[in-house]
């Protein structure tokens, strides 16, 4: 059994989707968001001194942090056979989505203590060229055509942007990508569980 430390609608949902897609049994332990982040009354710093989700505890007890490592681990061990070149492309795309979309854009956009000017700068300056690149990448067929960890991670990023920066990702290939994923029963299951957790 895998154990995933998460909070609803965090980037850990990409890991949950990959666990679901691979048919792996897992439990989710909920972390309370914020500076004094706690899980089930236990200090979360004991679990991850960096105080960030996701944390994935493997069935043998090994504890993984950092989503790029977690997603590529699941893909390598439980995903489809890939050539060495395909693995390099998977890592490239997961790292791109992690650093350029989630850390650079979504991090400040959803940080309640970020100044309004920071959020405006992210939406007006950083996001548009990134959306251009993502639209082209999806149109060219790597992300999106080959189901994998970059897809799962990009999907959560686009769903969060639809919520936090409405209209900024309205592009034909990105819209088709999101629609295709929202049709997937695995995606619907993971989203429904996150909504139930929010209550």
Ligand X SMILES: N[C@@H](CCC(=O)N[C@@H](CS)C(=O)NCC(=O)O)C(=O)O
Q: Please, what is the minimum distance in Å from the beta carbon of residue 48 to ligand X? A: 9
Task: Name beta bridge partners: 65.
Answer: 55
Single residue of 2, 4, 5, 10 touching ligand X by CB under 6 A: 10
Interaction between residue 11 and ligand X (CB under 6 A):
yes
> In angstroms, what is the minimal distance from the CB of 99 to ligand X?
9
Q: Does 34 bind ligand X (CB under 6 A)?
A: yes
* Residue 33 in the binding site for ligand X (CB under 6 A): yes
| Per-residue interface string for the shown chain with ligand X, residues 51-70, x marking contact by CB under 6 A | -xx------------xx---
Site for ligand X in 96-125 (CB under 6 A): 98
Least separation in angstroms between CB 33 and ligand X: 4
Give the residue with the Cβ less far from ligand X, 39 or 187. Answer: 39
Cα separation, 28 vs 23, in Å, equals 15
- Tell me if 101 sits within 8 A of 10, measured CB to CB: no
- Mapped to the 3 state alphabet, what secondary structure does 127-166 carry? HHHHHHHHHHHHHHCHHHHECCHHHHHHHHHHHHHHHHCC
**Which residues lie closer than 8 Å to 15 by C-beta, 6 or more apart?**
4, 6, 54, 56, 67, 70, 71, 74, 152
């Amino acid at each position: 059994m895998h154990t995933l430390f998460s909070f609803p609608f965090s980037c850990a949902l990409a890991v949950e989707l990959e666990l679901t897609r691979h048919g792996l049994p897992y439990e989710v332990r909920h972390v309370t968001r914020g500076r004094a982040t706690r899980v089930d009354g236990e200090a979360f710093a004991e679990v991850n001194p960096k105080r960030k989700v996701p944390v994935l505890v493997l069935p043998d007890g090994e504890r993984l942090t950092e989503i790029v490592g977690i997603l590529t681990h699941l893909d390598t061990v439980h995903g489809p056979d890939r050539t060495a070149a395909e693995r390099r492309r998977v890592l490239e795309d997961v790292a791109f989505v992690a650093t350029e979309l989630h850390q650079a854009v979504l991090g400040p956009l959803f940080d309640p203590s970020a100044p309004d000017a920071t959020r405006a700068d992210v939406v007006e300056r950083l996001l548009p060229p990134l959306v251009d690149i993502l639209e082209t990448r999806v149109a060219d067929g790597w992300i999106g055509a080959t189901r994998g960890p970059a897809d799962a991670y990009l999907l959560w990023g686009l769903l969060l942007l639809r919520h936090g920066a409405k209209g900024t990702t309205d592009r034909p290939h990105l819209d088709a990508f999101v629609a295709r994923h929202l049709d997937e029963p695995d995606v619907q299951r993971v989203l429904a569980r996150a909504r139930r957790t929010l209550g």
